[in-house]
Amino acid sequence: MNIAQRSSKNNQLISNITSLLEETRSNLTSLSSNFNQEIQAIHNNISMISGSVHDLKRQISFFAKLSRSVRITKRHQTVVYDLAQTNNENGYNPKNGIFTCPQSGTYVFMWNTLIYVRTYIRLEIVVSGTALYGILEDTEEAGDYDSATGSVIVNLNVGDKVFIRSRDSGPGPLYLDSSIVTSSFSGYRI
């Protein structure tokens, strides 16, 4: 084999090696891009899972009671439980008596009423504009206290409103016997 043939063969070999190196570089660039996309997808999934875990750890709950007796004077009067003892995530507003859902989920709500001396009261819970369930409480004798409790389990979406209101005008007040014996409203996400 002469020098010209050897040189041609070496040039062909160099050209083949160069092509293989270019193909390898192109494959590595593609693999690197795919790898970076997979890493980004993993980071996105981790962020989403972390957010979900954080949401699950949020303790949404409230307990509010009356600081004074409240007279029911009209139909559909919202009962404002003005003393919020617990208000995790600040969903309950003690100024207007309305719980505004801060996170979608299943919730339990309970309310207790205390009345006194030959009177009655009808209260109902309103969820997203619809009265779901009510209680009737009736005292029959002089000097008679009476207490009733209602509860519901409901699915809520963010922004849904929940409150207690009168079904009719009364005639009795929600009574406050002491700072411990009073009417209350509470709720929590399960």
**Which H or E run contains 156?**
strand 145-156
Confidence of residue 94 (pLDDT cuts 50, 70, 90): very high
CATH number of 61-189: 2.60.120.40
Residue 131, SS3 per DSSP = strand
pLDDT in the model for residue 52: 61
Across 24-34, average pLDDT: 81
pLDDT in the model for residue 63: 97
Residues 6+ apart with CB under 8 A from 141: 118
Residue 84 exposed, middle or buried by CB count within 10 Å (0-12, 13-18, 19+): middle
pLDDT in the model for residue 176: 57
pLDDT in the model for residue 16: 79
* Nearest CA among 168, 123, 116, 111 for reference residue 139: 116
Mean pLDDT, the chain, rounded, equals 83
Q: What angle do CA 141, 144, 148 make, to 5 degrees?
A: 115
pLDDT in the model for residue 51: 63
Tokens matching residue 43:
């980071």
Stretch among 13-17, 64-68, 115-119, 178-182 having the lowest mean pLDDT: 178-182
Q: What is the pTM of this model?
A: 0.68
CB 167 within 8 A of CB 124: yes
* Most confident of the following: 43-47, 135-139, 148-152, 178-182: 148-152
Decide if pLDDT at 101 tops 70.
yes
Decide if pLDDT at 56 tops 70.
no
Q: How far apart are CA 82 and CA 96, in angstroms?
A: 8
Q: Where are the domains of the chain?
A: 1-57, 61-189
Q: How far apart are CA 15 and CA 13, in angstroms?
A: 5
Decide if pLDDT at 118 tops 70.
no
pLDDT in the model for residue 68: 87
Tokens matching residue 134:
């009510």
Decide if pLDDT at 125 tops 90.
yes
* Nearest CA among 77, 70, 127, 137 for reference residue 99: 127
pLDDT in the model for residue 25: 84
What DSSP state is assigned to residue 26? H
pLDDT tens-digit profile of 128-171?
999 988 877 666 666 677 788 899 999 999 999 999 998 876 66
pLDDT in the model for residue 174: 66
